[in-house]
Amino acid sequence: MSAALEVRGVNKRFGGLQALDDVNLTVEEGRIHAIIGPNGAGKSTLLNCFVGRLTPDSGSVMFHGQSLLGIQPHQINQAGVSRVFQTPEIFSDLTVLENVMIPALAHRDGIFEFNAFKPMSRETDIRQRAVDVLEDLGMADKIDMVAASMSRGDKRRLEMAMGLVQDPRLLLLDEPTAGMSRADTNNTIDVLRHIGDSRGITMIIIEHDMHVVFSLADRISVLAQGTVIVEDAPENIKGNAKVQEAYLGGAH
């Protein structure tokens, strides 16, 4: 099995704070890789380095042999990396369906396409793709709602639909179930599991909810104080002394 994402020696400083300290990470293709760790461990910062929101001070981030550093966010996305944000980032003035059709169009047409005269109503393929994904996520009845008027949990699911509709090679999920009910959480786990199995999308999940982590992850990295302290299979993580120390230390 080959590596989808290779992170080598990534450092990031904010003023006096060493947010990321020599992070190394290898994510195998087709796997679901969870990154856990106490608050402030640098999980979201690390994810931001993968999508071009932040640029590391040093180190390399290679995606299937292509560097993700120094290129624009939209180029990273076009390379096949989609991200689901922690706080829902959606097009709130638009409808749910439009929210999903936009990334679908981006996937098909690339970073810019001057298709100013083709009516949206003729984009039946794109529409069908969007509807399918929304159905998978149990949102088929909400496609004509304005995105802003949805509950927080639904916004998260919409975000996920926006990521999935692009058929990414790597999907980055930043706390995908935060703010969801237990039932919705379980549903989301099923959806992600199903997608992981059927489409073989590589995923990186940042999550606090251990139930989600252990239901999904093939591999877990534990981040503490900006560095990876342990990387192992889920069954070996639970009993790991270093992990317990990191969490307890973080809890003080």
Instruction: Please give the residue ranges that form the binding site for another protein (CB under 8 A).
Output: 51, 53, 72-74, 77-78, 82-83, 85, 89-94, 98, 101-103, 105-107, 109-121, 123, 162, 166
* Residue closer to another protein (CB basis): 168 or 226: 168
Specify the residue, 115 or 236, whose C-beta has the smaller distance to another protein: 115
At its nearest, how many Å lie between another protein and the CB of residue 170?
13
Q: Which is nearer to another protein, 83 or 156 (CB)?
A: 83
What are the structure tokens assigned to 207, written together? Answer: 């999550």
Q: Pick between residue 57 and residue 89 the one whose CB is nearest to another protein.
A: 89
**Cβ 38 to another protein shortest distance, Å:** 26
- The nearest distance, CB 129 to another protein, in angstroms, is 13
Euclidean distance between CA atoms 205 and 21, whole angstroms = 20
Select 108 or 193, whichever has its Cβ closest to another protein. Answer: 108
Q: What is the closest distance, in whole angstroms, from the C-beta atom of residue 99 to another protein in the complex? A: 9
What is the Cβ-side half-sphere exposure of residue 144, based on CA atoms within 13 angstroms?
Answer: 1
Contacts of 45 (CB under 8 A, 6+ apart): 12, 19, 20, 54, 226
Range 102-107, long-range pairs (CB < 8 A, 24+ positions): 102/162, 103/162, 103/163, 103/165, 103/166, 104/129, 104/130, 104/165, 104/166, 106/74, 106/77, 106/78, 106/166, 107/165, 107/166, 107/167
| Distance in Å, CB of 116 to another protein, minimum | 4
Minimum CB distance to another protein, residue 88 (Å): 10
Structure token digits, residue 163: 């990521």
Taking the least distance from each CB to another protein, the nearer of 170 and 230 is: 170
How many CB atoms sit inside 10 A of residue 234's CB? 16
